[in-house]
């Protein structure tokens, strides 16, 4: 079994080190984002991956990745596994820290949808399928050779949250098979086809991508895709009479300062709202 350093941050990837640990691999450390203020009271809170590691007394690194390279080398891990870490790794860490390098799970059918928003993009555009791709990191974003790839359907009611959860749960099972095969030399790496490459928007552009001008609203089908692609955050949104109006899955609407209600309830309360959508 492998000695693994796991790079990850949010709740939906905690299942990955958990499954690897259950399969007999040793998670010797996690590398994650530092604690951040959470909730209305802005309580400084460790990342979900850090909280998971603390339960098992696993070493946690949450600082600048450039400053932990030597510490990681001393762990003599076989491989790094990266899923939704949220920071760019220095090339020295990628190339010279682990015997077998770092592998990354990307929730799309690479080279399609390289970048930080592949799940949102697939739902937003209206794709009927997506997938999981395991690559070996190189010196370019989501560019490295492919170890494994599998297609998965996108359901008509899938949101970012539901599809994200399902794909990463599947990736945890996949890695339990892929990692031993890779370390034993049973996997032939496949170079990505650059002519097929496409890129998604950056994380910091997501809120603007989810916005639409109320005078040029999308049609019902497009709005449904937007609502699902950007749920739970930031929601498909517009501005009306100085307030933010969010459109959520299942034909729910939320005006700033109020709780979500059905479209019918919303129109009863705001009869002069200019859109007739559902």
Q: Which domains does the chain have, with CATH numbers?
A: 3-196 (3.40.50.170), 210-269 (no CATH)
DSSP 38-57: ETTTTEEE--HHHHHHHHTT
Tokens of 110: 């690479």
- Mean pLDDT of all residues in 110-121: 96
How far apart CA 102 and CA 230 sit, in angstroms, is 30
Tokens of 74: 């001393």
Give me the pLDDT at residue 41, please. Answer: 84
How far apart CA 78 and CA 75 sit, in angstroms, is 9
Q: Which whole-number Å values give the CA distances from 214 to 66, 229, 233, 235, in the listed order?
A: 45, 19, 19, 15
Nearest to 5 by CA among 95, 62, 81: 81
How far apart CA 17 and CA 13 sit, in angstroms, is 8
pLDDT exceeds cutoff 90 at 22? yes
Q: What is the mean pLDDT of the chain?
A: 95
- Mean pLDDT of all residues in 191-202: 96
pLDDT band, residue 278 (cuts 50/70/90): low
How many Cβ atoms are within 10 Å of 116's Cβ, its own excluded?
A: 19
Give me the pLDDT at residue 38, please. Answer: 85
The answer to whether the predicted template modeling score (pTM) of the entire model surpasses 0.85 is yes
Helix axis angle for 118-125 and 220-229, nearest 10°, is 170
How far apart CA 17 and CA 59 sit, in angstroms, is 13
pLDDT in tens, 216-233: 999 999 999 999 999 999
HSE-CB for 11 with a 13 A CA cutoff: 4
Sheet holding 236-240, edge to edge: 236-240, 243-248, 252-255, 261-262
Residue ranges with strand state E in the chain: 3-8, 26-31, 36-38, 43-45, 59-61, 79-83, 102-106, 129-136, 146-153, 236-240, 243-248, 252-255, 261-262
pLDDT exceeds cutoff 80 at 13? yes
pLDDT band, residue 39 (cuts 50/70/90): confident
């Amino acid at each position: 079994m492998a000695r693994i350093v796991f790079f990850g941050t949010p709740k939906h990837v905690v299942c990955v080190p958990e499954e690897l640990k259950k399969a007999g691999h040793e998670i010797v450390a996690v590398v994650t984002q530092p604690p951040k203020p959470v909730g209305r009271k802005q309580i400084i809170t460790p990342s979900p991956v850090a909280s998971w590691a603390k339960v098992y007394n696993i070493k946690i690194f949450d600082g600048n990745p450039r400053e932990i390279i030597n510490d990681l080398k001393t762990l003599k891990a076989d491989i790094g596994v990266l899923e939704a870490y949220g920071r760019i790794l220095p090339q020295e860490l990628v190339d010279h820290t682990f015997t077998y390098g770092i592998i990354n799970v990307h929730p799309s059918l690479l080279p399609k949808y390289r970048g930080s928003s592949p799940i949102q993009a697939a739902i937003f555009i209206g794709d009927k399928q997506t997938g999981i791709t395991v690559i070996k990191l190189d010196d370019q974003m989501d560019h490295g050779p492919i170890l494994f790839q599998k297609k998965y359907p996108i359901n008509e009611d899938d949101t970012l949250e539901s599809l994200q959860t399902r794909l990463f749960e599947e990736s945890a099972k996949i890695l339990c098979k892929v990692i031993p095969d890779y370390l034993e030399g049973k996997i032939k790496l496949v170079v990505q086809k650059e002519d097929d490459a496409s890129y998604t928007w950056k994380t910091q552009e997501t809120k603007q991508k989810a916005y639409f001008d109320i005078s040029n609203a999308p049609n019902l089908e497009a709005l449904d895709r937007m609502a699902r692609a950007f749920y739970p955050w930031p929601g498909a949104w517009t501005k009306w009479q100085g307030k933010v109006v969010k459109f959520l899955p299942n034909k729910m609407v939320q005006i700033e300062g109020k709780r979500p209600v059905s479209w019918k309830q919303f129109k009863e309360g705001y009869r002069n709202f200019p859109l007739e959508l559902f």
